[in-house]
Amino acid sequence: MAEEKTMAKNNKGRVKTNNSGASVLALADDQERSRLFQLPQELRDSIYDHLFLDTRVSHGRRPLGEVKCLRITPAPNSLSLLKTCRRARAEIGHSWLSQVLFNFEDVKTMMEKLTAVPLRTLSAIRHLCVRGHSLTLSCPEKKMYYNLVHGLKFLPGLQLDTLTVLNLYGNCVTYDVLNSLIKYGQGWRELRYISRRSDILQYVNDFIILQGFDDYNQRRQRKPQPANWIRTMNSRDGAANQPSVAIYRSTLPGTTCTVINEATRVRFEQECPEPSQEALFGGRACASCMSSGENAKELMVIVRRGNGVDYQEKQRPPLLPEIGDIRADCPGMTWEEISKKHFAPPSDSGNADRCFGNDSSDHAPEKMDEYRHVEEYEWTPLKSEY
C-alpha cells in the first residue's frame, strides 16, 4: 500500500487524460513504439527536410481571363506533420519555414499575408514565388500603378534565397518591372523571372521615336541583355563580388515549365552593338526571337547577388524617387492602412482589376492547390490580352 501511494505521489501532475480517456503516458508509450521515433534524430531530421522541401503553400486569386478568377488555397494536409504531436513539432521547430515554397497568385495577397507575420517568421522564409508584379492604388483623382519592388520595401527583414516571379503583363511593362527589380530590389539572394514568351527581349520601342526619351520611356528602352543588367549588378554589388545575370530560353515553343528544366533550355545572349548604336537598339526587333516559333518559347532571367553582399530588406529603406514610391505617395501609412484606403472593391463588378488581386472580396470560386513538383506552374492569360 505504501508503495502504491509513493507511485501515485510521483505520478501526480503528469498522468492526465485526453478527450477519449487515454492517458498521456499511454500515448507516450505508443509514440516510443513508432518506427519514426525509433530512428536516430539525424534520420528523422532528414525525413522532415525532404518532406518540407517538397511542400508548397499557396494563396491568392489566379486569373483565368476576362473577370474570371479562382481563389487558390493550400492543400489541407500540406503542413499536417506539424499537427501530429508535440514531439514532432518540437523537433521540427521553425526549420520548415526555410524549406517550404510560399506561393502567391497575386501581389496583393502576398503583401497581406507577409506584412501580418512577425519579423522572426518573415526573416526565416527562404523561398517565395509570386504571379504578377503590379499593384494598383485607387486614388480619388486617378489610379496609381506600382511595381513589385515597391511592395518589397514594406517587408523589412525579408532575406530570401530565391524569389521567383511569373510574368503576368505585356512586354514593355514587364521590362520596366524587371529593370526595377534588378536595379533596386532587395530581400532576395537569387531572382528568377520567368516569362511565358520571349517578347520582353524582342519588342520594338516605337514610343521612343514617337514620344522621345522621358524618364518612363527611358526605363522601358530595350538594351542588349544580359550585358546591360550585368553592368547594373556590378555597379550595385561590386564586380569583385561576382554578381551574375543569365538568360535562358526554352527549346520547346509553347510548352509550360520547360525553361526551368536544364535539359530543355539553352543560354541566351543578345549581341552588343557599337556604343554609338546602343541607344537605337530597342528600335529594332530581335531577329533571333522573332523567327517562326521562337517567340512562343519560355524565357527565364536569373539574377544572383554578389558574394557577401547584405541583401536583407532594411527597416527603413531609402525612397525610390526615380520610379515613384508608394511610401512617398502615402506618407507615414502602414501597408494595412494603405490597403484599407486604396484597395476598396471597385464599383464596377466587371472591372478586370478583380482578377489581379486589386479587390478585397472573396467571392471567387475556391480551388485547392494541386502540384506534382513545388516549382511547377501553369500560365494564365496576360493582363495585356484583355
- For residues 56-74, average pLDDT: 86
Q: State the pLDDT at residue 274.
A: 73
Confidence category of residue 48, pLDDT binned at 50, 70, 90? very high
Q: State the pLDDT at residue 168.
A: 80
- For residues 17-31, average pLDDT: 54
Q: Residue ranges of the domains in the chain? A: 41-385
SS (H, E, C) the chain: CHHHHHHHHHHCCCCCECCCCCEHHHHHHHHHHCHHHHCCHHHHHHHHHHHHHCCEEEEEEEEEECCEEEEEECCCCCCHHHHCCHHHHHHHCCHHHHCCEEEECCHHHHHHHHCCCCHHHHHHCCEEEEECCEEEEECCCCEEEEEHHHHHCCCCCCCEEEEEEECCCCHHHHHHHHHHHHHHCCCEEEEEEEECCCHHHCCCCHHHHHHCCCHHHHHHCCCCCCHHHHHHHHHHHCHHHCCEEEEEEECCCCCCCCCCCHHHEEECCCCCCCHHHHHHHHHCCCHHHHCCCCCCCCEEEEEECCCCCCCCCCCCCCCCCCCCCHHHHCCCCCHHHHHHHHCCCCCCCCCHHHHHCCCCCCCCCEEECCCCCCCCCCCCCCHHHC
- For residues 134-140, average pLDDT: 77
pLDDT at 357 over 50: no
For the whole model, what pTM was predicted?
Answer: 0.84
